[in-house]
Chain A
């Protein structure tokens, strides 16, 4: 019971949040659109958490998170198509497989590219993102069901609050436990100083690969949930700008902060979708003028994010288990 004991606060807060959301969804105040946004925000949190493990905790800068998100989305959509799955319970193994698929590809691609540092890693991951985009655009030549540039249509809608919330909860809990395990400590050592870490006997290559694989796994799970929320996939949903989305969430929330990522994910999706309601369409195009400016200002002001290496006490994940 030590696990539950130390995470008691997370359990209680999550249960309360779940009941609150459930009540809101059932109350009739939540329109279909609003429900979709809330679920989407939870999904984005998972993928951003993955990037935070890669970049925030391990210091490996990646601009290709959306590619792994896309791999997960297409894998799960294809599997539900093949096995004609339509409900949540048989979907769970498929979700797991799509996460594993992303993790596997992340693991393989990590071999050549994780030897690189900083800006070269950024270009390599960005290049991988373009490669995946091109692959998805041409995917109908390989398997017609994937749709290629036409998009993947006819995915059953399976993602619901009852599915997403437990998944988010479990992944946050697992991530927190991994971060406080010896592997998490190794990762943070590598972020601080890779050379010193290897001098201490940390196998930096293996640890970086492990963090990257785990981060890609989270992106794959998020992608699988996304595919069955919006029921339509297009390669353009997984391009460079989507990776920037995740990056902004990680940076705003703070490198190496789980609560920061959760909060920033909620705020980000709320902000982007909220502006869609508040602003007239004519002014909507200004959103992406101000977002990069905000990013630049953040780099001047707080380069490691608002909650860098801090956890809020609210979720009770600020202390080692």
Chain B
């Protein structure tokens, strides 16, 4: 019984991490859908979101709803800025040039923000705006952090669902991901829709950044790299270009990472991701939900 309880507790912890990965993976999958680009800088925008939240809470002592508004706004603004400056002029260039540019943007953000005049390269303690409390349920303990993460993620996903499947902008996005040329012939404003997709995707990463700060309150400018890569793998696992695939993939990656840490060793958890990636590519290259836009 104790073993079962322990496993269940790890599952909850894994879902907590997985919810954050899911929020990041959404941005990867949406951008990939419209632009066929792995936005390498996405993990760094997630990091930027965490830092903005840190400034809102620790320096400016803003109320929590303003923290969310400002962080989402700032992350989305950075995402659109990166798209306009770095990616837009290269839209007709070979895909690898675009990818190398994305790697360059990622490195630039990391090292520019790690300057002492900016966020400094040190680890910073992220102050939680509330006290941690645990609630004993039958077999497991759930903290209020986990409740916040689950409810905010669920709310974000619901809003995103409305946006993508029930709004005009969402329809434009989906049309673009099917066929850019045809969509533009049907009157979809391609540039505006791509920017909008970046804004939504990086906004989700910003939400993920706040939640990550609540759950793992040691932040650093290089903290976005590993969650970024893991979330991209999550998006591939679920089926790249698919919103629900990104969510499921994120949860699976989060849970398996926590299980590897709990039952094997926490030093193996980053390596385990690669094994998942290879298994997916070998046995189910289109991801769990199957349909891949790009044939590889």
Report A's interface with B, CB cutoff 8 A: 61, 63, 112-113, 115-120, 122-124, 126-128, 130-131, 133-135, 137-138, 240, 244, 247, 251, 285-286, 288-289, 291-293, 295-296, 299-300, 303
Contacts and interface: CB of A to CB of B under 8 A. Distances in A.
B104 A295 contact: yes
B277 A124 contact: yes
A272 B194 CA distance: 37
Nearest to A129: B274
A299 B101 contact: yes
22 contacts: A61-B96, A112-B278, A116-B281, A119-B37, A119-B95, A123-B38, A124-B278, A124-B281, A126-B229, A127-B229, A134-B267, A244-B107, A247-B103, A251-B100, A285-B114, A285-B121, A289-B111, A292-B111, A295-B100, A296-B105, A299-B101, A303-B94
Contact of B90 (A118, A128, A240, A299): A299
B133 interface: no
Task: Choose among B99, B103, B112, B116 the residue with the greatest number of A CB atoms under 10 Å from its CB.
Answer: B103
B274 A118 contact: no
B: interface residue count bin = 35 or more
Given A119-B38, A119-B95, A126-B229, A285 B111 contact: yes
B277 A286 contact: no
Task: Choose among A115, A122, A133, A286 the residue with the greatest number of B CB atoms under 10 Å from its CB.
Answer: A122
A122 B38 contact: yes
A2 B101 CA distance: 44
A286 B114 CA distance: 10
A292 B114 CA distance: 14
Contacts of B111: 285, 288-289, 292
Interface string B222-241: 00010001001100100000
Given A122-B99, A288-B111, A300-B101, 17 more contacts: A112-B282, A113-B281, A116-B296, A119-B38, A120-B296, A123-B38, A123-B229, A123-B277, A124-B277, A124-B278, A127-B233, A131-B271, A134-B268, A244-B107, A296-B101, A299-B97, A299-B100
